[in-house]
Structure 1
Amino acid sequence: MARRSDHTRDELTKLILDSAFNLVSKSGYTQVSTRKIAAEIGYTVGTLYNVFTNLDDIFIHVNARIIDMLLNRLKAVIDQEAVPEKSIYLLAEEYLKFSREDYNLWNILFEYRFSNKQILPNWYTNKIAELFDLLEGVISGIVSNKTSDIKSTTAIIWAGIHGICSLGTKGKLARIKLDNPEVLVKQFINGVIANLN
């Protein structure tokens, strides 16, 4: 087993987060514990608690990394398609793709429940806001009625896309004979946009 002096605090932080991220990606967050992370990096659980407060704290940092990944993917979509009416569909497709390709990473963002005592740091909530700001920017380019509440519209579109995505990844759409999330998302976006303009 490695000794604490083998790595600096920054190196330990990276080791812990890399291990947690990889474990979540491979097995899902329900299979991750501080013991598993410690065993993976060759340190004691106590060492983890010298760097992070608890598993929630570790997962906040893992989620931040996942949000950055998702932001990069979504920004790449916007960079290749400047027309908002087209990019909204491409963003939705990329979001669906992310949930399928990296289900365990996508799942921890929305399914893991932090304890009531866990305070989310501002830098983390700012990252979440950045995701919404990205979508809001696209939607504001679509809406011709400038009196529309863009924030509410963004929340509605995101909730609809996410809901369809969530049902699709869990196989729930097939139960009601709707097993093509892409088609449902397009129909949903069409309906919302038609009501806005």
Structure 2
Amino acid sequence: MAIEDRRERERSARRRLIITTARRLAEAEGWDAVTTRRLSTEIEYSQPVLYKHFTGMDDIADAIALDGFAELAEIIRATRFEAGTPSEALTRIAHAYLNFARDNPAVYDAMFTRATTLRFAADDTPPQLIAGFAELRQTVDLVADGTDAETLTEVLWAALHGLVTLSRAGRLRPGHESDRLQLLVRQFTGGRDES
């Protein structure tokens, strides 16, 4: 059994190396730079080894997206616990979300803009996606005030994603990020400033 355990650890380590290397390349040079040939050169394994772990680049991008959702969920959780009021929690998680997208553009693309086989809001939705949404909803629950929190969370998520997408494309006025977030939070809190 020890040999099988060692082989599984080695397999898991190779898989993690592939994901980490692909992520590093995508963040440094963009997704077009991430190919199986380039990855095999970078990690010093043959392309067939890559295909033992992943069916192709889309599968690797999905693995990176899953990691991203897990990271975002943890960031939102930690940020929510640092806040005093519900309004402050919503403001902080909105900033944290935008900061995550800004600091991890390739991961964010894998999560939200690349073609994917990951399914959202379905019976087979991966736990990392569920956790990301659930953490966002925990914050929205604080301000939902009788509104359908699930739908309100989807609207907040869509608004944050819209801000990320429009900001990246240079479609929003620079220097007004804070104003936009304050307005968004006021809309979700009904203008209440809980103390």
TM-score (norm 2): 0.82
**Aligned residue number for residue 3 of structure 2:** none
Deviation for aligned residue 1:124: 5.9
Q: Which runs of 5+ in 1 are unaligned?
A: none
Mapped contact 1:17–1:61 kept (Cα < 8 A): yes
Choose 118-127 or 42-51, whichever is displaced more. Answer: 118-127
Deviation for aligned residue 1:103: 2.1
Alignment map for 1:157-176 (pairs within 5 Å): 157-174=156-173
**Aligned residue number for residue 191 of structure 1:** 187
1:22 aligns with 2:21: no
After superposition, what is the alpha-carbon deviation per residue over 1:133-187, rounded to whole angstroms, capped at 9, x for unaligned? 112111112232x2x211111111111121012111221113xxx6522211221
**Aligned residue number for residue 136 of structure 1:** 137
Deviation for aligned residue 1:89: 0.5
**Aligned residue number for residue 113 of structure 1:** 115
Mapped contact 1:63–1:109 kept (Cα < 8 A): yes
**Aligned residue number for residue 11 of structure 1:** 13
**Aligned residue number for residue 4 of structure 2:** none
Q: C-alpha distance in 1, partners of 2:176/2:161?
A: 14
**Aligned residue number for residue 59 of structure 2:** 57
Mapped contact 1:157–1:189 kept (Cα < 8 A): no
Mapped contact 1:29–1:112 kept (Cα < 8 A): no
After superposition, what is the alpha-carbon deviation per residue over 1:28-87, rounded to whole angstroms, capped at 9, x for unaligned? 223211111111011221111112122122112111112222222222211211422210
Identity %: 21
**Aligned residue number for residue 126 of structure 1:** 127
Deviation for aligned residue 1:104: 2.4
Mapped contact 1:35–1:45 kept (Cα < 8 A): yes
Residues 11 and 191 (structure 1), Cα distance of their counterparts in 2 relative to 1, 3 Å cut: closer
Mapped contact 2:19–2:64 kept (Cα < 8 A): yes
> What's the secondary structure of 1:173's corresponding residue?
coil
Choose 97-106 or 157-166, whichever is displaced more. Answer: 97-106
Q: C-alpha distance in 1, partners of 2:51/2:88?
A: 47
Mapped contact 2:31–2:106 kept (Cα < 8 A): yes
Counterpart of 1:46 (choices 37, 45, 48) is: 48
After superposition, what is the alpha-carbon deviation per residue over 1:75-125, rounded to whole angstroms, capped at 9, x for unaligned? 2211211422210000001111122222222222211112xxx46597863
Counterpart of 1:92 (choices 94, 119, 127) is: 94
> What's the secondary structure of 1:172's corresponding residue?
coil
Residues 166 and 18 (structure 1), Cα distance of their counterparts in 2 relative to 1, 3 Å cut: same
Query: Alignment length, in residue pairs?
Result: 183
| Letter of the structure 2 residue corresponding to residue 156 of structure 1 | V
TM-score (norm 1): 0.81
Q: C-alpha distance in 2, partners of 1:85/1:188?
A: 11
Mapped contact 1:168–1:179 kept (Cα < 8 A): no
